[in-house]
A and B are shown apart, each in its own frame.
Chain A
C-alpha cells in the first residue's frame, strides 16, 4: 500500500530495481538514493524496471536522470523498462528520456542489451 515499492535483485553482474506504485515528489528522492546505493561499483549495469509503475512525474524523471549521470560517470550501463501505452512510457517519451538511456519493453530485452553492450 505504500505509494512506491522498491525491490532490488542482483542477477549476475547486473542489478535489477523494480519500482512499483506511484513515483512522485514524496517518494522519488528516497527511491533514487536507495537504488544508487544498491549498485556496487563492480556491477556492469542497472536495469530500472518500471513495468509495475503506475505513475511518474518530473521528480521520478529527475531521479532517473540522476541515476543515469551517476552510472555514466562510473561507466556502468543503465536500462529502463517501460511498457508502451502505459502512462510511464508516455511521460518518458515526452521528456525524451531515450536520449539519456535506452528504454525497453521487457526486462529480458533490457538485460540482454546490457550483456550485449
Chain B
C-alpha cells in the first residue's frame, strides 16, 4: 500500500485536486450566504472564492499538461493558503476545519508519506498563524504573517524535503512499477548476483518453483533450482556471462530445473547482464517449456513416423515396381517395348526425372530406350566402352554417382534441357558380362545420394535380368520367325483352272512364332496338293519341326505317293526323330481338277470346309485320324469325294475357330456362316474370313488360312505354263476339264489331248528354258480351236522320233498350222467335235 500512491498518474492527481478546490470554493461561498457576524469580510471571502474556483478550473483543464509532482504540490499548498485566508476573513475556523482535513487526506492519499507530512505540517502551521495573527497589533503585520509566513515556510520546507527524497522516490516508484509488471508476468523472473545468489524472485517464480520470495532470495540458485548433475554447467555459464565484458544481449539456454518437490521440468532461460552502480546482476526469465517440449517431441515423433511410413511405402512400391520390371520382361514382347517399359518404370519407381538404358554391342554402347526429355533430341551415336559417363560405368563395372555433371558428361543432350544435375550410372551385368548401362538423372531439388545408388543396384539387377531375357527371347524369336517365313511358300503356284489364296496371321500379342504352316504343291498327276498343319509348341523347336515336315512332305508327294502314304511317312518321321512331346496335326488334301475329285487324309486337324454352288457349306469330316507323333503306326484313311465345277475348299488352323471358353463347334458354325456369304474369289474369301473371324484386337493364336477354288470352265481359256516336262500333266488336266465342258467324247478328248501334248512337247523342247509357253482354246459351235504358242525359235521337226509328233497332230486334228513368228512359233489346231447327242448315243 505504501508505494501505490506513487503509481497514480499526474493527471489523476490534478483532477482530484481540482475537485478539492471547487468544493472549497463552494464551501466558502456558502459562508457568504449563511448569517455571519461583523468580523466577516465579504469582499475578501469573495476574492478567495474566486481564486479557488479559478485554480480549480485551471487545474481541471490543464490536467493533461501537468508534467511533474511539483506542480501538484504547489497547487495543494496554494489551496491550503486559500483555506487559511478564508478562515481568517470569516473570523471563525469551525467550518474550514473540514477543508483542512480534506487537504490533509488528499496529501496522504496521493503522495508518499514524506511529502504528505510536509503538507500536514504546512496545514497545521497555516491554521496556527491564522489563529495568532487575528490577535496581531496591526493589519500590516497580520497581512505579512497571514500571507507570507505559511507561504514561505510551506514552500521552503516542502521544497527541501522533496529534493532530499526525489531520487529515491523516483527509483522506488519505477521499481514498484517494474515489480508489478514482473509479478504479473507468466514467466519466472529471477535475478542473480555475480555469485549466483538469488536477488530477485517474482510471483511466477513462486508459482513455478514452489519457493516463496523470502525463501528464495539470498539462496544460491545452483543449490535451490539446478539438479546436481547440471550444477557445474550452471557455474560455467554464469561465470562466462559475468566475465564476458562485451555481452549485453540476452542469452538463451535450454536447461533442466527442479521444483521444490524435486520434480524436474525442461525450461528455457533468457538471461541478460546488467551493471547497476558497479554491481553485476543477472536478471533472467525462466519459462516452463514442458508443454512446448512435449508438443515438439510429438511433432518430431509424428514426422519420424511419417518419414518411416513414406520410406516403407517407397520400398514396397519399389519392390512391386521391380516385380513389374521382371513381369515386363517375362511378357513376351519385343525388346524395344520391354526397354521402353523398363525405363518408364525405373523413372517412376525412383522418382527420377530421366532414365535411359544403353545396350552393349561390339565394345560400344548405344542408347536403346529413354524416358524423360524430348525424344527427338537424343543422339543415337554409339559410345565406346571406357569413354564418357556411360562408357566409364561400363568399363568400371561399378555404379557411378555424379553431382553437377559438366554438360559434356551428360550422356545425351536432352538431359541438359531437363536440368539434370545429379546422375547415377549402373552397369547391367548378366552372367558377368556388361550387357548395358542404366542411367538415371534427377533435376533439383532432387539430389541422389549413396542410398539411392544402393536402391538402384537392386533395380539394375532386375533390369539386367529383364534385358537379358528379352535379348535371348528376341534372338530366338527372330530366328524362329525367319525360319517360319522361309517355310511358308513365298508365292503360290499358278495352276491352270485353279485359283488359290493363302493368309498367315501371327498372334496379336507378338508371342513366339507358332507351328502353323501351309503349303501348296503341284502333284505329278496334274492335281494340286494342299497342306495345312500345326506343330504343337512354339518357337524355334516348332519352327524347325515344320521345316522337316515340309521338306519330307514335298519329297514324298512329288514321288507320287498317295496321300495316306505321304502322311504315314510324316508320322514315321515325327515318331522316330522328334522327342516324345512333339506332335502335329495335318491335313493333306489333293485336288484333282481333271477328275473333279478331292482326296484327303486328316491327321487330327480341324476339317476342311467345302463350298459349292449347289450345296450349303459342308465340313469334310471323313478321313479323320490321330495327330502325327501319337502312335507308331496309325491307320490313315484316304477319303475321296467328287466336287462340282467352281467348288471352293477352305483349310485353316485352329487359331481361326477356337476361342477361350467357347466350344469349337461355335467357331466352325461361325466360319461356315461367314463363308456362305462370301464371293467366290479365294482372295476375297480369305479377307472376309479374317475380317469377320479375327477379333479386332488381333488373333489370340496364329492363324493360317488356305482357300482353293476350281474355276468353272468357260468357252475360252488361256493359260501360261512353264517350259518343263512336268507342266504337261497339268496342261492335260486342264484341257480334259475344258473338253468335258464343251462336251467332247472321251475318245475325242484323248485325241485332242494327245495332239496338244505333241505341240506342247515341241514348245518345251525348243523354247528357251525359263520362258513360259501359252495354251489357249476356244469353241465355236462344235469346232474347237487350240493354239500352243512358244517364245522360242521353231525347229523343223526332224524325221524320226520327233517327226512323229507333227504327224500325230495332223492325224488327230482336222487342221494343224505351224505359224513361225519373230518372237516364237504358234501351232494352231482345229477339230470339229461330234454332236454330244451322237456321242451319247455311241456311248
Contacts and interface: CB of A to CB of B under 8 A. Distances in A.
Given A3-B525, A3-B729, A87 B750 contact: yes
A94 B651 CA distance: 46
Contact of A58 (B524, B729, B764, B804): B804
A66 B524 CA distance: 25
Interface in A7-56: 22, 24-26, 55-56
A117 interface: no
Interface size class of B (residues with CB under 8 A): 20 to 34
B725 A24 contact: yes
A3 B729 CA distance: 8
B805 interface: yes
Contacts of A66: 801
Nearest to B592: A1
A22 B802 contact: no
Interface in A52-97: 55-59, 61-62, 65-66, 87, 90-91, 94-95
B761 A57 contact: yes
B488 interface: no
Given A26-B726, A87-B754, A90-B750, A58 B523 contact: no
Contacts of A91: 754, 808
A58 B805 contact: yes
A2 B732 contact: no
A68 to B, nearest CB: 12
B250 interface: no
Interface residues of A, number: 22
A24 B525 contact: no
B811 interface: yes
B720 interface: no
B712 interface: no
Contacts of A26: 524, 725-726, 728-729
A66 B801 CA distance: 9
B754 A1 contact: no
Contact of A22 (B561, B732, B761, B808): B732
A25 B754 contact: no
A55 B805 CA distance: 14
Interface of A: 1-3, 5, 22, 24-26, 55-59, 61-62, 65-66, 87, 90-91, 94-95
A66 B559 CA distance: 26
A58 B802 CA distance: 7
Contacts, number: 79
B487 to A, nearest CB: 24
A36 B670 CA distance: 59
Interface string B559-573: 111100000000000
Q: 4 tightest CB-CB pairs across the interface, nearest first? A: A2-B560, A26-B725, A87-B750, A62-B801
Given A24-B728, A26-B725, A57-B754, A3 B560 contact: yes
Contacts of A1: 523-525, 560-562
Contacts of B559: 2
A91 B757 CA distance: 12
B754 A55 contact: yes
Contacts of B728: 24-26, 57
B761 A24 contact: yes
Given A58-B808, A59-B761, A87-B750, A65 B801 contact: yes
B729 A22 contact: yes
Contact of B524 (A3, A59, A87): A3
Contacts of B525: 1-3, 22
A25 B804 CA distance: 14
Nearest to A2: B560
A28 B754 CA distance: 15
Contacts of A59: 761
B812 interface: yes
B807 interface: yes
Given A58-B801, A58-B802, A94-B807, A87 B751 contact: yes
A77 to B, nearest CB: 22
Contacts of A56: 754
Nearest to A24: B728
Contacts of A65: 801
Contacts of B802: 58, 62
A50 to B, nearest CB: 14
B560 A25 contact: no
Contacts of B757: 24, 55, 57
B753 interface: yes
A114 B638 CA distance: 41
Contacts of A58: 758, 761, 801-802, 804-805, 808
A66 B561 CA distance: 29
A112 to B, nearest CB: 29
